Amino acid sequence: MAKNFLALLIVVLISTLMLLFLEGLVRGTRTDINHQDTEHALFTERAFGDSVGWRPGTSGESFGQRVYIDKNGFRKLDHQPDSGKVWLVLGDSVTFGVGVESDSTFVGLMQAKRPDVRVINTAVVGYAIGNYRDVLRKMISTGDLEEVILFYCLNDTYDGLNALPEDSGALGRLLGFLRRNSKLYMLMKNTFFDRSKSYFEADFREYDVNNSRFFRTINLLTEMDDLLTKRKIAFQVVLLPYEYQLRKREMGVLEPQEAMAKALPARVTLVDLYPCLSRQAKGSTSLFLYGDPMHFSRAGHKAVFDCLNSNLRPSSGLLE
């Protein structure tokens, strides 16, 4: 019995040392691989109606990048004026810019381009269409609000974030730990599974004509446009493509964008960035975080910003 236990202990020890060696090797050679997940302590309940938001004045880790939340509960941007005209940006983790320094995100680049405008990034990890509506309802009375730009991701049809995110069970906690701490895990996961394709195929089904969530999305976007039109505030919806769409470059994968364009009333300004990004991308993966289906890399954020310069409605004034 003692010999069996000793043998098992030696196997466990050798296996652990081997995993630690491989983890160190991956960390030393694959700086492009980022961690995932966001610290729960960054979130606070009921920041916008029933919707969760960021805890004001905090900092923490999100996708391996330290992020800073300002006193108002938004991602902190350098060179942001304290007053003046306001551009309100709505979005989820893609627009928040997980894994990328704040001022290198496309929102940060927008702020740098227009130092005379206060660009407020209200995006939160886990947000969806219902959360955007909640944020807009609270922020619409913001003084000097000139423009609202909603950056739409294909998974925005799902139910929004109305409760603090948490791992589910022991397996969920283990996987969360690995996402936050192991680059070896991320490498193996991406090597054996095409996560980008899987995410796209799952979200692709959301745009079926019989999907109630899709029509709820269209109704909420129309409601938001009506609300802003009454106040004479410009509103634009920017469609952000998935990595798999840019990789495949086939018309069939663009059905979600086509469905949005057909279903939204003509009065809603819709900007599809797929054509522009597909021309810029030499390889789709270079525009996204490692093995990621939707979150842009630093190069991807710069590409999105460049596309915004040539595609946003003139009222945004990015080209000025």
Helices (H) and strands (E) in the chain, counts: 12, 9
* C-alpha span between 152 and 154 (Å, rounded): 7
Assign 165 a pLDDT band (cuts: 50, 70, 90): low
Q: What is d(CA 312, CA 314) in angstroms, rounded to the nearest whole number?
A: 6
Q: Is the per-residue pLDDT at 142 higher than 90? A: no
| pLDDT tens column, 62-83 | 998 999 999 999 999 988 888 8
> Any idea which architecture 40-316 has in CATH?
3-Layer(aba) Sandwich (3.40)
- pTM of this prediction? 0.91
Residue 16 C-alpha from the chain's centroid: 34
3-state helix, strand, coil in the chain (%, to 5): 50, 15, 35
Structural domain boundaries in the chain: 40-316
Residue 132 has pLDDT above 70, yes or no: yes
Q: Give yes or no for residue 130 having a pLDDT over 90.
A: yes
pLDDT band of 100, cuts 50, 70, 90: very high
Neighbours of 275 (CB within 10 A): 12
> What local confidence, expressed as pLDDT, does residue 118 receive?
94
Residue 166 has what pLDDT?
Answer: 64
Q: What's the rounded Cα separation, in Å, for the pair 240 and 107?
A: 14
Among the listed residues 165, 135, 162, the one whose alpha carbon sits nearest the alpha carbon of residue 150: 135
Q: What is the pLDDT of residues 265-295, one digit of tens each?
A: 999 999 999 999 998 766 788 999 999 999 9
